[in-house]
Amino acid sequence: MTQEEKQLLLKDLSARLPYDVKVCVKLPNHQEKIFEEQIGDLKEITRYGGYLVNSKGIDYRSFNLDIKPYLRPLSSMTEEEKLMYEGLMIGADNVSYMLDVIEWLNANHFDYRGLIEKGLAIEVNESNNPYKE
55-99 residue pLDDT tens: 555 555 545 567 788 999 999 999 999 999 988 888 767 777 888
Instruction: Please count the other Cβ atoms lying within 10 Å of the Cβ belonging to residue 51.
Output: 11
pLDDT band at 38; cut points 50, 70, 90: very low
Whole domain around residue 19: which residue ranges? Answer: 3-73+110-123
pLDDT band at 37; cut points 50, 70, 90: very low
Residue at 26 is within a domain: yes
Residue at 42 is within a domain: yes
Residue at 47 is within a domain: yes
Please state the domain count of the chain: 1
Question: Is the per-residue pLDDT at 123 higher than 80?
Answer: yes
Residue at 85 is within a domain: no
Give the mean model confidence (pLDDT) for residues 40-64.
Answer: 51
The Cα–Cα gap between 3 and 27 comes to: 18
Residue at 89 is within a domain: no
Give the mean model confidence (pLDDT) for residues 19-36.
Answer: 57
The Cα–Cα gap between 68 and 121 comes to: 5
